[in-house]
Amino acid sequence: MGSRPYGKSVWQGKPAAIISVSPGLLGAFGANHHLRQPLVFLDMPVLQQPEMYLSKAGDFIGEDGKVNNEATRDFLKTFAGKFADWIEKNRGGN
């Protein structure tokens, strides 16, 4: 397990981001926030903004599994760029 032994976690200091996707209307909001708790325990800096909850996944994921909605694609690109910046900002001696 990557979090053991205590104090020697391989996850410590590694930047993280969370994207949740759901067929429902809330975009797995609760799951997204719940996942942040163990990341705090693991001492992983989590990207705070932009938050990403993708609801009604069937409306923007095509039969081929690709995102078929330009606005969603743009949002994902923005998120990926912000996460890349977050990784760079949190580079350290870890």
Q: What is the pLDDT of residues 45-61, one digit of tens each?
A: 999 999 999 999 989 99
Cis peptide bond N-terminal to 15, omega within 30: no
Query: pTM score, two decimals?
Result: 0.83
Q: Which CATH architecture describes the domain 19-89? A: 3-Layer(aba) Sandwich (3.40)
Instruction: Enumerate the H helices of the chain as residue ranges.
Output: 29-41, 70-89
Average pLDDT, the chain: 90
Cis peptide bond N-terminal to 50, omega within 30: yes
Work out the pLDDT band at 8, boundaries 50, 70, 90. Answer: confident
User: How far apart are alpha carbons 91 and 10 in whole angstroms?
Assistant: 14
Residue spans of the domains in the chain: they are: 19-89
User: What is the identity of the amino acid at 6?
Assistant: Y
Closest CA relative to residue 42, chosen from 91, 85, 3: 3
